[in-house]
Amino acid sequence: MSIDTAGRGRRLPWADVLLSAIASVSWALIAMAGTAALGLHLVGADAAGSLGPMTAAVVALGANGAVKPSGDVSAFGLKGAEAHTAVQITPLGVGLVGALLLSFFFLRSLRGAGVVIAPSELLARAGAVVVLFVAMLGGLAWAGHDIITIDGSKLGLDRVTGGGGLGNITDKLPGGLGDLGGLLPGKIGDLVQAQAAVGFTVDTVPTLLGGAAWAAGILVIALLASRRTPLPRGWEGVHRTVRPAASALVTVILVAVLAGLAAAAYAAIDDPHPKLIAGAALLGAPNGVWLGIPIGLFVPWDGKATGELAKLLPHPLDRLLSVDSDRPVTLGRLAELDGRVWLLGVATAVMMLFAGVLAASRTPFVRGQGAASVGTPAAPVVRGGGALGFAGRCALRLGIVTALALPLLAWLTDVSVDASLSVFGIDAFGAGIRLHGHLGMALLLGALWGAGAGAAGALLAYASGAAGRRAAPLALGDAGPPVAAPAPDLPRGPGPYAPGAPYRPANPDTNPYLRLPDELREPADGRPAERPRSPDDVYGAPTVVRPMAPPPGPQKRRPRGRNVPPPPQPPPGQGPSEPPGPGRRN
């Protein structure tokens, strides 16, 4: 089954659509599962439970899914005990690997469509990827559930009941409490023999909805950031305006992640637990890097950290959230605890400036001309406008893109983890992390930083001559070398030849058929051109010769067939001469 996608006889290749969707989704999920399994193994999570279900749960979390934990500690022998846990965190290391492979194979499937792609074909390819990805997430939701058993004897409780170096707990109690008939030590003994079952399961409906939104968002970002992927007809302006800035910002964000991974590798060299650092970097390096970018750009955060989970935060953020959580977390407050934090602000400012220069080098620009109009008459006019006009355009475009990207980073790195154990209403232990960015301030500061970096980067690129040097061919289609107009719709008739759109414009320097003959050229001295001698000269075309007399010698007669006309007879008395020889007739 096929449908007409372009209105010119081009039909949607369903087989190619399905195969490309299968390749995109399968490679993305394989990479996500491999990254999650390796990271969990390095941090030692597989020692507490089965690695397969935990990997499925982490992949679901990386794809914007939801995991619902549950606890049952009533087996400890304490009636009325209950556990409560809540986890809202995305392992961006797993999600980033899947996003890169999903985008790569999806964009590669589009580049075979030509300069433009039909909207129906683009929607069909994107829809197939999203539907197949959601279907695979349904399988992960079915497999991502397990129960982790906590053995009381492994918690060191046997030492407080007389079996360890601490002695009998009754010897440590004040007078009178030890004469309770052995009630308290007996209860603690029950704790030693008890086992707690803590389970988790992937929440199916939120995972499917979140996975669909995640896949669709990844494809949209990939289309906006890819400079060599075709778009539907009428979207040519996206090549010139959106894609240079979007691709530049995505590039610097990915480079920042690589820098974070390099820093983790350097820290693991002298650390006594290198596997723990490597596993944490695989799972959450983008979390730390993309949290530092908004903080370095002065975006305020609200946060609080309690218990053992506070130790998971980087220094000095752990100290700030543990001591004072009433005021928002800002770069200045962190610098009060450690002056080296100001280097984070310098690094993010340099990153934004690099994004501005990169965007300017990828934006089409005509140097030294007020306006340039080339190509077909319908092609739009690209105006140079000098350095200030170019800087203004780059500032506007990068400002809009950064204003959308910075709140997205703040939302992705949002953290909410809470774990508590209550016994008879008394909190036995508690741990939690809460960290939320101000999305409104991220939007405003992103626009300001993007506009400033775009203007500064454009001026630097203009001064160095790099403005427009890295512009993609699709962006230059309306502003650079002339591009041939698409061929009109022609009715197809019988025969093997079907005219199509030319690949390049006509060039007289390389096509001899378009050169002006020497007889028609005007000489340098201004004298009139010499007229052609005869119509038989055919104006000196390089592959057409003048009429020539037949060569001397016998002429071979062509076989006369049904459709072969007889050869022309020579005039009387001017027959062809035959060479002398034994076979000559008299």
What pLDDT score was predicted for residue 159?
45
Q: Which residue did the predictor score with more confidence, 63 or 6?
A: 63
Among residues 356, 372, 371, 346, the alpha carbon closest in space to that of 464 is found at: 356
Residue environment code for 534-554, b if the CB has 16+ CB neighbours within 10 A, otherwise e: eeeeeeeeeeeeeeeeeeeee
**Contact at 8 Å (CB) between 86 and 418?**
yes
* Model confidence at 246: pLDDT above 70: yes
Report domain extents, the chain. Answer: 12-154+196-233, 242-482
Query: In this predicted structure, which of 26-35, 87-96, 344-353, 407-416 has the lowest mean pLDDT?
Result: 87-96
For residues 415-425, give the mean pLDDT.
55
Residues constituting the chain? 586
Q: What is residue 457's predicted lDDT score, i.e. its pLDDT?
A: 96
pLDDT of residue 38: 94
The per-residue pLDDT for 254 is 96
Whether 377 shows a pLDDT value over 50: the answer reads no
**Does position 2 have pLDDT exceeding 50, yes or no?**
no
Three-state SS for 88?
A: strand
Mean pLDDT of the chain: 74
Q: How confident is the model at residue 346 (pLDDT cuts 50, 70, 90)?
A: very high
Answer yes or no: is pLDDT of 416 > 50. yes
Task: Say which residues have a Cβ less than 8 Å from residue 510's Cβ, sequence separation at least 6.
Answer: none
The lowest-confidence range among 19-28, 345-354, 444-453, 562-571 is 562-571
Among candidate residues 347, 260, 245, the one with its CA nearest the CA of residue 297: 347
User: What's the pLDDT at 234?
Assistant: 86
Cβ(430)–Cβ(304) below 8 Å: no
Token digits of residue 146 = 């397990």
Query: Is the pLDDT at 85 greater than 60, yes or no?
Result: no
Interhelix angle 119-143/92-110, rounded to 10 degrees, is 150
Report how far residue 541's alpha carbon sits from residue 59's, in angstroms, rounded to the nearest whole number. Answer: 69
More confident of the two residues 179 and 14: 14
In this predicted structure, the answer to whether residue 170 has a pLDDT above a threshold of 60 is: no
Range scoring the smallest mean pLDDT among 184-193, 378-387, 426-435: 184-193
Amino acid at 577: S
Model-level pTM greater than 0.85?
no
Summarised one tens digit per residue, pLDDT across range 41-71 is 998 887 766 788 888 888 988 998 887 766 5
Predicted local distance difference test score (pLDDT) of residue 87: 59
The reported pLDDT for the residue numbered 499 is 53
Most confident range (mean pLDDT) of 86-90, 317-321, 495-499, 513-517 is 317-321
pLDDT for the residue numbered 498: 53
User: Of the ranges 114-123, 299-308, 497-506, 556-565, which is most confident?
Assistant: 114-123
pLDDT at 398: 97
pLDDT tops 70 at residue 10: no
CA distances from 435 to 89, 299, 313, 338, 365 (A): 10, 13, 11, 20, 43
The arithmetic mean of pLDDT across residues 26-43, rounded, is: 93
Q: Which two tokens stand for residue 65?
A: 């899914």
Q: Model confidence over 526-542: pLDDT tens digits?
A: 555 555 444 444 444 45
In this prediction, residue 88 carries a pLDDT of 64
Q: Please enumerate in sequence order all residues whose Cβ is within 8 A of that of 127, keeping only pairs 6 or more positions apart, or say none.
A: none
pLDDT at residue 345 is higher than 90: yes
Say which residue, 231 or 497, is predicted with more confidence: 231
Query: pLDDT exceeding 70 applies to what percent of the chain?
Result: 59
Q: Residues 234, 236, 239, CA angle at the centre, nearest 5°?
A: 150
Q: At residue 545, does pLDDT exceed 70? A: no
pLDDT of residue 155 exceeding 80: no
Q: In the beta sheet, which residues pair with residue 150?
A: 196
pLDDT in tens, 253-284: 999 999 999 999 998 888 888 998 899 899 98
Say what the pLDDT of residue 502 is.
56
SS3 483: coil
Helix axes 204-225, 92-110, angle to 10 degrees: 50
The residue among 490 and 499 whose pLDDT is bigger is: 499
Give the C-alpha separation, 340 to 344, whole Å.
8
Distance, CA of 24 to chain centre? 13
Inform me whether the pLDDT recorded for 24 exceeds 80.
Answer: yes
> Do 466 and 361 contact (CB within 8 A), yes or no?
yes
The segment with the largest mean pLDDT, out of 1-15, 37-51, 103-117, 435-449, is: 435-449
Q: Which of 65-69, 294-298, 430-434 has the lowest mean pLDDT?
A: 430-434
The pLDDT confidence band at residue 158, using thresholds 50, 70 and 90, is very low
